[in-house]
Amino acid sequence: SGAVTTVATGNILIPPAQIKDAIRTAWRTVQPQIIQKNVKGLSPAAGAKEFTKEGGQSLYRFLLDQGMVNQSAAYGDVIGLIQDAGSTGVFDFFKKKMPQQIKRFLRKAQELYVAEDDFWKVFNFFGESYKIRRAYAAAIQAGKIKLKDVPGGSLDSMEILLDATRNVRAMLPNYAYVPELVKASRRAPLGNFVSFPAEIIRTSANIMTKAHKEINSPIFERMGWERMFGFLGATAALAPTAV
């Protein structure tokens, strides 16, 4: 679903070299990395572009503080179901008898589940920050704005990264945005995994709204068209093709 959402946001349309860098950044940033350990990363003082490209623990902490990562909607429902069932004492026997090897395996499985969701969020964050910088640079070159009009007064400012995190939170499923009423409905006989469908409704509306707003902007028009075509491609082409 993360890959399909990446198509829907239009972030799959960034240049191949940027796609390669986005994958590298996501790989170096998500928790955990089984094959190799995460790099420490750079300080934000190194500049927003290099800070993002390097990835690592420092970038993950930044994105975690912004509420962008570690917020898988499906994983939130899984943990909620386990907690609901656990309150009855049904797992007490298994907690006592389960071998440590199985416990470690289950912990790793949980970490990998979250990491897969975070991978695509970091990828989209990279794409959004790249396209925002590209839009401002093109607007400056065309004489539409001056450098001082860019948030933070620089194409390498942290304000651009904050804009990118807001876009990702708005357009990718995020458990923090699921209403309590929806979360509670998993206890009703309607279905256990209710948060992800609810988030698809929210994020789909946000993608279309954002695309329309960007298309009508003299600075972000290209981003808007990319987002619009990406969303139409994800909804009109990918689903029938998969069937």
Supply the angle between the helices 221-232 and 100-141 in degrees, to the nearest 10: 140
What separation in angstroms does the CA of 155 have from each of 49, 50, 51, 53, 137? 9, 12, 13, 15, 7
Tens-digit pLDDT profile for residues 48-87: 999 999 999 999 999 999 999 998 888 888 888 887 877 7
**Higher confidence at residue 90 or residue 121?**
121
pLDDT at 146: 94
pLDDT at 20: 96
Nearest CA among 115, 111, 95, 113 for reference residue 103: 95
**Higher confidence at residue 36 or residue 170?**
170
Tens-digit pLDDT profile for residues 135-191: 999 999 999 999 999 999 999 999 999 999 999 999 999 999 999 888 888 888 877
pLDDT at 62: 95
Determine the Cα angle at 196 with ends 190 and 202, to 5°: 110
Look at the alpha carbons of 197, 199, 201, 207 in this order and tell me if their dihedral is positive or negative.
negative
* Residues 158 and 152: beta-carbon distance below 8 Å: yes
Model confidence at 202, pLDDT cuts 50, 70, 90, reads very high
Between CA 97 and CA 52 the distance in angstroms is 45
Between CA 43 and CA 216 the distance in angstroms is 36
